[in-house]
Structure 1
């Protein structure tokens, strides 16, 4: 089965087996996915979404799942400039984290429903390098996307609540690296 055709639905068994392999090999305990498919509308991404649901149904143990919150179109191409808006949203949580142990009678512990990822310049360039591995995908507008997309720099995640579409990124706390491009590479071989 050729997985390099973005206009085809990919077979659920194959995707499920590959996901299972990566979870076991890298001992993943966190899956990061797009929220309800608003970031990308590609057919192959949608097929991965349904195939991940199949994996969850057949698997006895799945890792924790978080979803990347899609930025509105206004902020989608704001690059790093949009950093202040999510940080302001996360300030109450930050204060609760800092002071809940010192003053538990005033500050409650922060909930673990939301996570904020801000890429350092090093991580941005590492992500850029990972995207450029797929030379056939790097057409002119992808260069614009990787330069200006907020999602290359800032991502706020919500804890997964119920089954719906899954777009797949792997995150390994042990390795501290995203392995999405490695995953794509393995299915394109």
Structure 2
């Protein structure tokens, strides 16, 4: 079995990165995490990856004259790792047209809501403010519209009486860590396309 090579983009601790690394330890898993790229040099997820022997790189967008040049350099790094698929795992930048087009159909993200509900930030607080009875997460293909790409998989959690954004987030995160490796496996096996 030839495993797809995966690059992961992060901005922080990368808890979903850890879930993907854990899944890829299984030799029968159809994807291998070969590199982790962050837009923040201090992102704890870089240390996690390095500890696992995975290639790492960090690029600060502020060091580039334009977003296009920053994203072109990200693509060069990913291609140097011979990446087949790119996973966003808490990468807190909106990606531009050239990058999204280049990786179209091979670029996925996990979002902490049941898309199309609650695109963007502060999803847990917004769900609670709306009196939602269920919430969850979505793995989706990345397209130019923010959190608008087709869903691959979703997981639902009930909203409980007394929930705060923090308690709801913690329950959704458990599902994210289960769902993301499943969705990546489906893409790596060719079971889903955009």
The verdict on a shared fold, with TM-score over 0.5 as the criterion, is no
TM-score, normalised on structure 1?
A: 0.30
Bigger RCO of structures 1 and 2 (CA < 8 A, at least 6 apart) = 1
Q: Which has the higher helix share?
A: 1
Q: Which has the higher strand share?
A: 2
Give the number of the structure whose alpha-carbon radius of gyration is greater.
1
TM-score, normalised on structure 2?
A: 0.29
